[in-house]
Amino acid sequence: MVELPESPRVVIRADGGGRFGLGHVMRGLSMAEAFGDRGARVSFLMADIPDCPAERVRSRGFGVEVVALDMLEGNWASGEPTDLLWVDHHEVAAPWLSRAREWSRYIGVIDDLADRDLDCDLVVSPAPRKDAEKHYRETVPSAKLLLGPGYAPLDGRFAKHRPVNPRPGPPRRVVVSFGGADWKNQTCKALAGLEQVSEPLDVTVVVGGVSTHRKSVEAAADRSPHRVVVQVNVEDMAALLREHDMVIGAAGDSAFERCCLGLPAVVVVCAENQVHVAEWLKNSRAALVLGWWQDITAVDVAEAISRLYFDIDYFSDVSRTARALVDGRGADRIASELGSISSVPVFSR
């Protein structure tokens, strides 16, 4: 009997909770699904920080090793040889990656900032800043680069829910979602803006279980003139968004999800790593980008909503443009591209 080779081992380094929110982990789960579909054994490596979402990862069927942060930042090493280390973490740079080469055959990094030295075989940047390619060519010249929204790693359910045509408008069903943490409480600002919109709307507010503003959000929802439902820790965001017409949210990774579904959005920049995504959305005319959170008022939000509501041609143009930019198959493309730089058979499928 011919013995089949053992499934390749993939470790995903992504932290969640605390100051990191949930974005890196959710993006890591999209890659985990793509690797797992190719027969890989996938597990996560996460720092032991407040609100670490390890159980959320385990509930999706993936193992998790939670390690004290000071140990991870030191000379930590995996006790098992690894075929691929996939890193989704803004604070992991070349020194840590170079040490990881002692136990991982290949290293891939998804990066939004292009602001540090890396040591890896593949760099993915779905919304790269203008000088990103130059930065990567200079700092990690041997790495293969996958740049652009075609490589945005989304949950596979978004591609399945992708509409055939752009949204017709007007937007009567609105989602407000500023990520799992929303430290700056932009959800309440969005609800205050919605209060100033006279047209009747059905509003779904999505908050994470780690949010410290949940009570104030629920209070704002109760006094809204619109029908508002608050949902916590939504598991299938693709299915929820499919049933809505517009989103008010941040310029994070969720922007690619909205584009995939052709959902026009009012977008607020809430963190430095969102600047390049916001610029890409604005330049592509794929969303109505308002700017930095501290410069935006509830009146600004209300005016943006009204523009999308009353200008149906503009609404449809934004929906059409957004949908054309992202097809939801980025994670699968990344996994396939790994076949061209590695000798791990499973990635060549």
CATH of residue 96 = 3.40.50.11190
- Taking only the tens place, the pLDDT of each residue in 253-307 is 899 999 999 999 999 999 888 999 999 999 999 999 999 999 999 999 999 999 9
Residues 6 or more apart whose CB falls under 8 angstroms from that of 261 comprise 158, 161, 162, 163, 238, 241, 242, 323
Q: What is the pLDDT of residue 156?
A: 92
C-alpha distances in angstroms, 25 versus 3, 11, 40, 46, 71?
A: 35, 13, 18, 9, 20
Preceding omega of 168 cis (within 30 degrees of 0)? no
- Taking only the tens place, the pLDDT of each residue in 209-242 is 777 888 999 999 999 999 999 999 888 999 999 9
Question: How far is residue 139's CA from residue 11's CA, in Å, rounded to a whole number?
Answer: 24
Let me know if residue 130 belongs to a domain. Answer: yes
Neighbours of 216 (CB within 10 A): 14
Let me know if residue 211 belongs to a domain. Answer: yes
Q: What is the pLDDT of residue 235?
A: 86
Q: What is the pLDDT of residue 344?
A: 67
Place of tokens 């509003």: 203
231 and 302 together in one domain: yes
212 and 300 together in one domain: yes
349 falls in which pLDDT band (50, 70, 90)? Answer: low
- Taking only the tens place, the pLDDT of each residue in 184-203 is 999 999 999 999 999 999 99
CATH of residue 165 = 3.40.50.2000
Question: How far is residue 45's CA from residue 82's CA, in Å, rounded to a whole number?
Answer: 12
143 and 171 together in one domain: no
More confident residue, 3 or 83: 83
pLDDT at residue 58 greater than cutoff 50: yes
Question: How far is residue 125's CA from residue 90's CA, in Å, rounded to a whole number?
Answer: 12
80 and 50 together in one domain: yes
Structurally, how many domains does the chain consist of? 2
Neighbours of 342 (CB within 10 A): 19
Burial 179-204 (b: 16+ CB within 10 A, else e): bbbbebbbbbbbbbbbbebeeebebb
Asked if 147 contacts 333 with a C-beta cutoff of 8 angstroms, the reply is no
Q: Sheet with 288-292: list strands edge to edge.
A: 227-232, 202-207, 173-177, 246-250, 265-269, 288-292
Place of tokens 């584009």: 259
Q: What is the pLDDT of residue 51?
A: 86
Beta strands 63-67 and 173-177: pairing type?
Answer: unpaired
Q: What is the pLDDT of residue 348?
A: 57
34 and 169 together in one domain: no
Q: What is the pLDDT of residue 1?
A: 34
Q: What is the pLDDT of residue 206?
A: 96
129 and 35 together in one domain: yes
Name the least confident of 43-47, 137-141, 179-183. 179-183
119 falls in which pLDDT band (50, 70, 90)? Answer: very high
- pLDDT > 70 fraction of the chain, expressed in percent and rounded: 96
Let me know if residue 16 belongs to a domain. Answer: yes
What is the domain extent for residue 231? 157-325
Question: How far is residue 189's CA from residue 31's CA, in Å, rounded to a whole number?
Answer: 33
For the chain, what is the total number of helices (H) and then of strands (E)? 14, 13
62 and 141 together in one domain: yes
Average pLDDT over every residue of 170-180 = 92
293 and 332 together in one domain: no
pLDDT at residue 2 greater than cutoff 70: no
41 falls in which pLDDT band (50, 70, 90)? Answer: very high
More confident residue, 50 or 298: 298
Give the alpha-carbon dihedral of 254, 151, 10, 93, to 10 degrees: -80
Let me know if residue 246 belongs to a domain. Answer: yes
Place of tokens 């030295």: 117
